[in-house]
Chain A
Amino acid sequence: MSVTTGPTGQTNLNSLKIVGIALFLALCVAAAFWFSDYHLFQLTLVVVYAIAILGLSIVTGFNGQISLGHGAFYAIGAYTTAILMDRYEVPYWATLPASALVCAIFGFLIGLPALRLGGLYLALTTFALAVAVPQLLKHKLIEDYTGGVQGIVILKPDPPFGLKISPDQWIYLFTLGVACVLFLLAWNLVRGRIGRAMMAIRDQSLAAEAMGINIAMLKTRTFAVSAMYTGIAGSLGAIVVQFVAPDSFSLFVSVYFFVGLVVGGVASLPGAIFGAIFIEFVPNVADQLSKAAPGAVYGILLILMMFAAPGGVVGVIRLLWRRATGAKRAATTLTDGRVGSTPARVGAISADGDFAGATVGPKQKVAGPLH
């Protein structure tokens, strides 16, 4: 295994990556003591959105099921936490498993019929969900719990164990810790048997079925896991913002998650982080560029982004990485592969994944070990 980065979003760790991730985490922790409370609040939201987009990435990126309604699960998670804290005085951290369970069940039940429709119909079904949920939250029947249009105000948690940090610092570090665990679990999931099955369904469902994958079941469970991730993000979001109200969970939440997913890079775990940075900060940038029409600026930035980086931020990083390491890998392929050619030629192949060149055509195989 000389090459560790697959084009599939699956990666095996090598020492360089471990160092990179450790450095990144150290920076994230240091940020808690670097930024002002307001900027820390923004950063906390980035982490929250990263978890939400990660959830969407699992179902849309890895499993190929387009969801335009993940804002609904974000809302359900947020309300679960708010209601538990407000009415039942459950500690904030204990609401997370509850909200994970609630959202997973919702995701499973919604996924059960919706995923059988598949494709564009699933997109519409989830879209309908995103449209319906904010209004359902205002409904009179559950007003006692949800606070109706007023919403629910919740209290900012204090740092535990008498830690001498501000509540903002604590909630940032807490969110970061939860995110680390969730990213680790997601990474385990997508690189294993189940993750491969998710991607197999996305790429070629008929063949996936012939390999023994129960497509309906796997898709439904994937949707449940995805809803659970986004729901946990909703819970954290509620704790960070200290307030939930139906109007905070408009259709735009779903759309922004989707934007973040695509901008960051679908079917990529780090992509969720880049996407979260985009949806948190780019509206501010647009606002600064034009007070009159920030929406138009945002739109233009988005379009430019799609032209400059059609594979998302992660796509660009992978491309640059391959360019930087292309020569080295080409040499490895040459010596390992016995599919002889000049290094430059093989380099071109590994960069594009394209075998159009005659140099490694099937005939070359005659020299292979089987003959």
Chain B
Amino acid sequence: MGGDAETAEKPGSKREAGAMRSELDVAEIAPAIHHGNADALMSVRDVVVRFGGVLAVGGVSFDVGRRQICGLIGPNGAGKTTLFNCISGIYKYNEGDILFEGKSIHGTPRHRMAGLGIGRTFQNVALFKTLSVRDNILVGAFHLGRSGFIANALRPPSVAREGALAEGQMRDLLELMDLTAVAHLPAGGLPFGWQKRVELARALIGQPKLLLLDEPAGGLNHGEVSELEGLLRRIREHFELSILLVEHHMNLVMRVSDKVVALEFGRKIADGTPEQVRNEPEVIRAYLGDQEEDAHAA
């Protein structure tokens, strides 16, 4: 179902992609992922999460296809963030399952998620504040490296090569995210919008197959949100990845998503193209009803 939306999206993003490629050969950043099969990259299957007696997520199912941008919306308390945290391994779900590339992620330690191909950003930005922007991004490549303590201390050529490879990718990402000028500055001192781009770069250098974005537009001003929109399209175009977008900003979600999943009180109330979800009476009632302007604008 995401197919039509994807084709509808294509012309705009292709044009931008062409402009980008002239500046930067992004093929180096992410090796091509074979995405011929129609299987979903990630499947959420009847997931139930309870906190004590409170039902936070009550049996939600949806798929995220390969190279799909999937928006996850819902009013406050709908269970978006809970679900997001289940997918990123922070919370454990009580029932149901989440499959990533066909395999259950239940019980996978948090530090293994990056290795599986699930990268993420954080709702209020969680950078390594005292580290420079470049070091922040390099940490994102941690799980791709192999060298341990002894190898790092002795620094044989293989370790130096590993480092140089990551640094090359880091520099490409600095360019892509327009961060080259601030590369040496501590990330904690940057304005919020810039920090969000550092976080995106840090997630991207890890070559995720699925990128989880927790309210990327939160705290951004109007102009920055529209920049973010273009950035998300470019990311999807260049990195051959899927994005799960948890977001309050309706305009952004409706514009960039191939499919949208709407939650309310821990249950799914709509699942389809932005057009379908927008016209779903349940959604209008539950979510857009109190944001008339947004609904019209979108």
A residues near B, CB below 8 A?
1, 3, 6-8, 10, 185-186, 188-189, 192-197, 199-200, 203-204, 206-215, 221, 225, 333, 336-339, 349-350, 352-355, 360-363, 365-366, 368-371
Other 10 A-B pairs with CB < 8 A, given A206-B122, A365-B178: A192-B163, A194-B148, A196-B142, A206-B126, A213-B142, A225-B149, A354-B189, A362-B192, A362-B224, A371-B227
* B126/A193 in contact, CB under 8 A: no
B46 at interface, CB cutoff 8 A: no
Contact status of A203 and B131, CB under 8 A, knowing A193-B162, A362-B193, A368-B178: yes
Question: What is the distance, in angstroms, from B77's C-beta to the closest C-beta of chain A?
Answer: 22
Question: What is the distance, in angstroms, from B195's C-beta to the closest C-beta of chain A?
Answer: 10
Residues of A within 8 A of B185 (CB): 7, 349-350, 353
* B145/A193 in contact, CB under 8 A: yes
Contact status of A199 and B189, CB under 8 A, knowing A6-B184, A210-B120, A362-B194: no
Can you show 30 pairs from A to B with CB atoms below 8 A apart? A1-B184, A3-B184, A6-B131, A7-B130, A7-B132, A8-B132, A185-B154, A192-B152, A193-B163, A193-B166, A196-B135, A196-B142, A200-B131, A203-B127, A203-B131, A204-B127, A209-B110, A211-B142, A211-B202, A212-B142, A213-B111, A213-B142, A337-B182, A353-B188, A355-B194, A362-B191, A362-B193, A362-B221, A363-B223, A369-B23
Contact status of A192 and B114, CB under 8 A, knowing A6-B135, A199-B135, A203-B129: no
Question: What is the distance, in angstroms, from B50's C-beta to the closest C-beta of chain A?
Answer: 23
Residues 105-139 (chain B) with a chain A CB within 8 angstroms: 109-115, 119-120, 122, 126-132, 135, 138-139
Residues of B within 8 A of A354 (CB): 189
B257 at interface, CB cutoff 8 A: no
Neighbour of A207 across the interface among B128, B148, B194, CB < 8 A: B128
Chain A residue with minimal CB distance to B23? A369
* B128/A208 in contact, CB under 8 A: yes
Chain B residue with minimal CB distance to A5? B184
Neighbour of A210 across the interface among B88, B148, B189, B192, CB < 8 A: B88
* B178/A369 in contact, CB under 8 A: yes
Chain B residue with minimal CB distance to A336? B181
As a 0/1 sequence over residues 140 to 175 of chain B, the CB contacts with chain A under 8 angstroms (1 = contact) are 101101011100111100010011001000000001
Residues of A within 8 A of B88 (CB): 210
B65 at interface, CB cutoff 8 A: no
Complex alpha-carbon distance, A207 and B157, angstroms: 29
Residues of B within 8 A of A333 (CB): 181
Complex alpha-carbon distance, A208 and B163, angstroms: 18
Residues of B within 8 A of A185 (CB): 153-154
* B139/A197 in contact, CB under 8 A: yes
Residues of B within 8 A of A336 (CB): 180-181
The 10 closest A-B pairs by CB, nearest first: A212-B143, A337-B181, A212-B114, A203-B128, A353-B189, A207-B126, A362-B193, A192-B152, A368-B178, A185-B153
Complex alpha-carbon distance, A354 and B120, angstroms: 26
* B181/A189 in contact, CB under 8 A: no
* B147/A208 in contact, CB under 8 A: no
Neighbour of B130 across the interface among A188, A199, A215, CB < 8 A: A199
Complex alpha-carbon distance, A213 and B193, angstroms: 26
* A211/B152 in contact, CB under 8 A: no
Neighbour of A211 across the interface among B109, B114, B178, CB < 8 A: B114
Question: What is the distance, in angstroms, from B232's C-beta to the closest C-beta of chain A?
Answer: 13
Residues of A within 8 A of B194 (CB): 355, 362, 365
Neighbour of A197 across the interface among B120, B142, B231, CB < 8 A: B142
* B184/A365 in contact, CB under 8 A: no
Chain A residue with minimal CB distance to B171? A1
* B191/A337 in contact, CB under 8 A: no
* A6/B162 in contact, CB under 8 A: no
* B128/A200 in contact, CB under 8 A: yes
* B135/A10 in contact, CB under 8 A: yes
Chain A residue with minimal CB distance to B205? A211
Neighbour of B111 across the interface among A8, A199, A214, A339, CB < 8 A: A214
Complex alpha-carbon distance, A193 and B194, angstroms: 24
Residues 184-220 (chain B) with a chain A CB within 8 angstroms: 184-186, 188-194, 202, 206
Residues 49-98 (chain B) with a chain A CB within 8 angstroms: 88, 90
Complex alpha-carbon distance, A27 and B280, angstroms: 78
Contact status of A188 and B153, CB under 8 A, knowing A212-B206, A353-B186: yes
* A193/B129 in contact, CB under 8 A: no
Complex alpha-carbon distance, A146 and B152, angstroms: 36
Complex alpha-carbon distance, A200 and B140, angstroms: 10
Question: What is the distance, in angstroms, from B197's C-beta to the closest C-beta of chain A?
Answer: 9
Complex alpha-carbon distance, A11 and B130, angstroms: 14
Neighbour of B152 across the interface among A189, A366, A370, A371, CB < 8 A: A189
Contact status of A193 and B152, CB under 8 A, knowing A208-B139, A212-B143, A355-B191: yes
Complex alpha-carbon distance, A128 and B3, angstroms: 63
Complex alpha-carbon distance, A110 and B107, angstroms: 27
Complex alpha-carbon distance, A355 and B120, angstroms: 26
* A365/B227 in contact, CB under 8 A: yes
Complex alpha-carbon distance, A24 and B279, angstroms: 73
